[in-house]
């Protein structure tokens, strides 16, 4: 069936979710009117501290949580109008290891494919087992698998119906390096070879930085920033140079354009500048030209962590 869907894999409009308060507590607003479009074919990061609303959003996309209000379209299908098609377009790898201990990996994938109504001839069980590195454990009981192997199996289960969109909810929380590498390699492969849209929720910044084309930052149920990873890191184009002079330093002296200087109580000079505009050497030259003797110097460079902290600390 052809479906004209423009260029977005997911469109979320004014999405709200309020959980009823328990035991005399006020209701909790987990999502406060979020608008978000996720382009097809991207690896998209949903970044935010724990409890920010990321999992609620994912669970609404997966059809596991009923939204309070708003609109959700998945692969062009409105969730309220075509719930079946919208669910079929998305595969979710959950955080929890919710596996039946009495199934083998092969059995678990077959049952999952059956739940999605994938006909026997169209099932790709062996191919998926190969992808997730469980071919040699295909017939072992799930209860005998290590935690890492169970994680792999969750990824496999999310892929049985060949969804256009794969959602990984905190996929590498508490997993070993080897599994993390395997997940990242597979995610890239699915994205590059099949054009699968990948959505990754994480509070690990280096993961988002390494994997995602674009990132949306969520905090307290609201979307506070959405940009390309490159631009977010560019916010971080800011650099800081700290120079401790030996002896004094004049109150004022000439500085290159775009450089801000602060004098700390201990006499250190703190220069803020942007990499694009100025070099550290130009600052050194200006300092020396002012007759200042440099005793000690250090630089500070931001990473996504700093942007994140700055954006989520409500400044």
DSSP class per residue in 9-53: EEEEEEEEEEEPPSTTPPPEEEEEEEEEEEETT-EEEEE--TTSS
Sign of CA pseudo-dihedral 151, 156, 161, 167: positive
Q: What share of the chain is helix, strand, coil (3-state, %, to 5)?
A: 35, 30, 35
- 2 within a domain of the structure (yes/no): no
- 3 within a domain of the structure (yes/no): no
Q: Are residues 121 and 241 in the same domain?
A: no
Domain count for the chain, please give it.
2
Q: Are residues 132 and 115 in the same domain?
A: yes
Q: Are residues 114 and 182 in the same domain?
A: yes
Q: Are residues 184 and 305 in the same domain?
A: no
- 1 within a domain of the structure (yes/no): no
What pLDDT, on the 0 to 100 scale, is given for residue 302?
64
- 86 within a domain of the structure (yes/no): yes
What pLDDT, on the 0 to 100 scale, is given for residue 176?
79
Q: What is the pLDDT along the chain (315 residues), one digit of tens a residue?
A: 344 445 899 999 999 999 998 888 999 999 999 999 999 999 999 998 888 899 899 999 999 999 999 999 999 999 999 999 999 999 999 887 778 888 999 999 999 999 999 999 999 999 999 999 999 999 998 888 888 888 899 999 999 999 999 999 988 877 778 888 888 899 999 999 999 999 999 887 778 888 899 999 998 899 988 999 888 877 766 788 999 999 888 988 999 998 999 999 999 999 988 877 888 899 999 999 999 999 999 987 666 666 777 766 754
Q: Are residues 47 and 169 in the same domain?
A: yes
The contacts found for 170-176 with CB under 8 angstroms, 24 or more apart, are 170/55, 170/95, 170/201, 170/202, 170/203, 171/93, 171/200, 171/202, 172/202, 172/204, 172/207, 173/95, 173/204, 175/147, 175/148, 175/151, 176/148
Q: Are residues 168 and 208 in the same domain?
A: yes
Final residue of a domain: which of 233, 267, 286? 233
Give the pTM: 0.77
Residues spanned by the domain of 226 = 8-233
Q: Are residues 225 and 274 in the same domain?
A: no
Q: Are residues 56 and 142 in the same domain?
A: yes
Domain with residue 293: its CATH number is: 3.30.70
- 247 within a domain of the structure (yes/no): yes
């Amino acid at each position: 069936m052809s479906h004209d869907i423009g260029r977005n894999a997911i469109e979320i409009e004014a999405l709200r979710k309020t959980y009823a308060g328990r035991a005399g507590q006020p209701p909790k607003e987990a999502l406060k009117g979020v608008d978000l479009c996720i382009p097809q074919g991207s690896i998209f990061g949903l970044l935010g501290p724990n409890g920010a609303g990321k999992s609620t959003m994912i669970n609404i996309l997966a059809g596991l949580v009923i939204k309070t209000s708003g609109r959700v379209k998945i692969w062009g299908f409105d969730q309220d109008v075509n719930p079946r098609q919208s669910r079929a377009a998305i595969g979710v790898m959950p955080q929890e290891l919710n596996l039946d201990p009495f199934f083998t990996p092969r059995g678990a994938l077959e049952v999952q494919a059956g739940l999605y109504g994938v006909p026997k001839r169209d099932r790709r069980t062996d191919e998926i087992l190969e992808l997730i590195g469980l071919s040699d454990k295909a017939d072992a009981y799930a209860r005998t698998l290590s935690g890492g192997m169970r994680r792999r199996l969750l990824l496999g289960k999310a892929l049985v119906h060949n969804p256009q969109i794969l959602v990984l909810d905190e996929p590498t929380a508490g997993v070993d390096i080897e599994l993390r590498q395997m997940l990242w390699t597979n995610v890239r492969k699915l994205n590059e070879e099949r054009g699968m849209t990948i959505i990754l929720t994480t509070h690990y910044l280096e993961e988002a930085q390494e994997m995602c084309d674009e990132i949306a930052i969520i905090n307290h149920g609201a979307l506070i920033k959405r940009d390309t990873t490159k631009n977010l890191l560019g916010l971080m184009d800011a650099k800081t140079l700290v120079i401790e002079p030996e002896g004094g330093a004049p109150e004022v002296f000439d500085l290159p354009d775009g450089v801000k200087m602060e004098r700390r109580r201990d006499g250190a000079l703190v220069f803020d500048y942007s990499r694009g505009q100025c070099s550290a050497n130009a600052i050194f030259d200006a300092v020396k030209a002012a007759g200042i003797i440099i005793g000690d110097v250090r630089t500070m460079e931001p990473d996504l962590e700093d942007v994140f902290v700055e954006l989520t600390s409500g400044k």
